[in-house]
Amino acid sequence: MSLKASGLLLWGGSVTAVELGAEPSGVRTRTVDRTFSSAAGSVRSASRRWVRARVQPYAAACLVAAGVAAGLTPVAGPVVWAAVGVVALVLALDLTTVRPRQRAYIFAPVRRLGLVAGSALLVASSFAWLTPGQTRAELVTVVAAGGAFLIGARVSGAPGGPRRVLLVGGRVGAAQLITQWSSCQDVLVAGVCLPEHVGDDADPIVDVPVVGSLDDVVAAATGLDVDEVVVVPGALLTAYDVRRLSWSLERTAVELSVAAEMGGISPRRIVPQVLGRRVMLSVRPGGRSRPGRWGKGLLDRAGAAILLVMLSPVLAALAIMVRRDSPGPALFRQTRVGLDGALFQVLKFRTMVVDAESMLPALQTANEAAGPLFKMAADPRTTRIGRFLRRSSLDELPQLVNVVKGQMSLVGPRPSLPVETMAYDEWIHRRLSAKPGMTGAWQVGGRSNLSWSDSVRLDIDYVDNSTLRDDLWIAMRTARVVITRDGAV
């Protein structure tokens, strides 16, 4: 008995991978050691994963729509069940007609549902087929269904572990990706397939086993139960190889991706296009537009002014505590580098003794930070109240004045010292393309626990890709970081 599917021939407990058009004869076979029971188990596992991540959100949306309609029937009448029919019909068509890989974009079905249902309600209300109360009930039903779909997709599609990946490409490119992903907890490289023929004793690549050649990709992806096959471009791989892989994987639950050297670029800035019959990835400019910068500046100043008024009693109390703890002023002023290299005086509550700067050279040998920064967990210059202010990040509250003056932003790159910028190269200098922030990706990403390179990477990624939504997300995460004192020194 034989079973043929997706370019694989399962016969008598072994798997034969079939590749079309690889040889002049048109067919080339390679037998891979693979049992039928194991292959069937992988198929069942993929089927369960597909049902959980794809079917359940559709079912949840329909059930919620029916429940809402049942509750609204006494008010709006049985016409509200028409909305349930529209929801069920649109989602059923989406489930049966859209390809599996497109279903991964969970907002697409909700957008289609909103377009169809919104158009229907607009027409019905324009011709007075529905009363205002019935229109509102229909709208509530559709909105509830859309919300249930998004929640269901997030919950049921949430991975139970890292995304398993099979790499296809040369040793150098595969090693680079494996090394880059070694610190990513959401990616697990399960194996590597090389373009050339390999034996059973092929040397692993950065402790990742080589599981076959280009002919063995489908069998290896099934055997390792991977979620995605990632092609690493190289001299030995052609566009036709990628196309044949897409043919082989099109009937499986495994996705196919091609790695591109575009580190630090947000997906929203990448637009695919065809130029001269070649697929190109167009990269939109990074950074904010001029209206975006103006809008961010206006929100920063308004928000900082409101916070200054609300926190004025706290600021006054902290100033008194600093003055009583040690001799000297309550505020500490230090020169920092702002937008495009402009210098300004940053304000903080004083956390050290007055002559702390003169004591710094003697402490350089105990520096615990990487790069040009100076950090010391048990810094002898820190006062008693200063240690509390640093751990709680309350010492940075006076920077709200810098934000109101337009020198800083509520969210942005870490404000740099002039001595640091002297060591910047062209790459790191990109940090100065945005106003420094009271908080930023560096603070929610680890603060003092970050290495110098990680801090620079987070700041540059923020400058290139940040949006207002990112600022709001960082601001919300900052509250958690401050409360838990994660990374504070």
339-374 pLDDT, tens digit per residue, is 988 999 999 999 888 877 776 766 666 665 555 666
Which residues does 290 contact at the CB level (< 8 Å), separation at least 6? none
Confidence at residue 22, expressed as pLDDT on a 0 to 100 scale: 38
The DSSP 8-state label assigned to residue 446 in this structure reads T
Task: Give the model's pLDDT for residue 381.
Answer: 79
Mean pLDDT score of the chain, rounded to an integer? 80
Share of the chain above pLDDT 90, in %: 25
What is the tens place of the pLDDT at every residue in 431-466?
Answer: 888 999 999 888 787 666 667 777 888 888 899 888
* DSSP, residue by residue, 376-404: -TT-TTB-HHHHHHHHHTGGGTTHHHHHH
Mean pLDDT of 33-52: 47
CA 322, 419, 301, 455 torsion-angle sign? negative
Burial of 124 (0-12, 13-18, 19+ CB in 10 A): middle
CA nearest 91: which of 69, 106, 73? Answer: 106
In this model, does residue 41 exceed pLDDT 70? no
pLDDT above 70: residue 2: no
| pLDDT tens, position by position, 297-341 | 999 999 999 999 999 999 999 999 999 888 889 998 989 999 988
Give mean pLDDT, residues 76-82.
89
Give CA–CA dist 197/216, Å, rounded.
Answer: 10
Lowest mean pLDDT among 135-144, 231-240, 259-268: 259-268
Q: What is the mean pLDDT of residues 57-86?
A: 90
Domains of the chain with bracketed CATH: 44-156 (no CATH), 161-259 (3.40.50.2000), 290-484 (no CATH)
| pTM, two decimal places | 0.63
**Per-residue confidence (pLDDT) for residue 199, from 0 to 100:** 75
- pLDDT grade for 133, boundaries at 50, 70 and 90: confident
How much is the pLDDT for 208? Answer: 92
Assign 69 a pLDDT band (cuts: 50, 70, 90). Answer: very high
Whether residue 222 has pLDDT greater than 70: yes
